[in-house]
Structure formats: C-alpha cells, structure tokens
C-alpha cells in the first residue's frame, strides 16, 4: 500500500535512509522484493507439507526456492508488460531509478528472502505443523 501511494522511488522513510547512506536511489522496492521471496516461500512450504507433495527436505527446499524465483520472474514480466503498455508512466511504475541491474537484483533479493525464510522459520514452522510432519 505504501509503495502504491508514493510510488516505489518516493517512499519517505527510504528517502531518509537514502540520505543517511549517501545512496543515489530509494531502495523501498528492494524490501518489497525481499518480502516477495520470504512470504511465498513459507506459503509454498506450508502447502507442500500439508499435502505431502514432495518427500525429502532437500527436494522440498529446492522446489520452494524454484517456485519463489518463478513467482518473482513472473512479477518482473508483469512490470515489463505494464511498462510497454503505459509508456511515460513506466519509470514511476518500474522504479528502476536508472539502475540497469534492477530486475536481476530484484530477483536476487527474492531468492535471498526465500532462503532466509526457509532457514530462519523452519523449526518454528515445523512446530506449528507438528501434527502433520516429523522433523
């Protein structure tokens, strides 16, 4: 909601962080892309464990990370399609702020978010689902 109100490049809190860090860009969108990996990873893990779709923790984690990256890539494609259709509004929507590696870094942060979610929440998530799984 915040990014939609201000556009990603103009979120006030991140403008202050930008000034403190001496950065040339507002990185609010990077937080969003990290969350775009973190949240779907846990949701995907929940579905996999509840439905018992994939056996083996390594295969589960591999699939979860792949799904999260596919989700992130699809979002980047949507951004690109909107940019093609909206012409002058594209810069405000994309929020690249002149950074040529924006799409790749967005997907990299989604990857990082999914890995951190799996590492940091695994035990807590297993405890919540203890009636379904054995760790």
Cα 93 from chain centre: 17
Reported pTM = 0.77
Residue 52 lies in a domain: yes
Q: Quick one: pLDDT band at residue 66, thresholds 50, 70, 90?
A: very high
Residue 98 lies in a domain: yes
Name the domain count of the chain: 1
Host domain of residue 110: 29-128
Residue 101 lies in a domain: yes
Q: Quick one: pLDDT band at residue 14, thresholds 50, 70, 90?
A: low
The residues near 41 (Cβ < 8 Å, ≥ 6 apart) are 64, 65, 68, 113, 114, 115, 117, 118
Residue 21 lies in a domain: no
pLDDT, tens digit, 9 for 90 and up, residues 76-95: 898 888 878 877 666 655 55
Residue 15 lies in a domain: no
Q: Judge whether 48 and 65 are in contact, CB under 8 Å.
A: no
Residue 24 lies in a domain: no
């Amino acid at each position: 909601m915040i990014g939609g109100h201000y556009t990603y490049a103009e979120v006030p809190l991140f403008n202050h962080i930008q000034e403190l860090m001496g950065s040339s860009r507002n990185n609010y969108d990077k937080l969003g892309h990290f969350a775009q990996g973190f949240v779907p990873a846990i949701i995907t893990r929940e579905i996999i464990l509840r439905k018992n779709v994939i056996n083996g923790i390594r295969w589960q984690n591999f699939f979860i990370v792949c799904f999260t990256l596919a989700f992130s890539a699809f979002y980047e494609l949507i951004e690109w399609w909107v940019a093609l259709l909206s012409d002058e509004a594209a810069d405000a929507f994309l929020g690249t702020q002149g950074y040529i590696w924006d799409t790749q870094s967005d997907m990299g942060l989604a990857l990082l978010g999914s890995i951190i979610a799996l590492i940091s929440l695994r035990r807590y998530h297993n405890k919540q689902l203890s009636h379904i799984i054995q760790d």
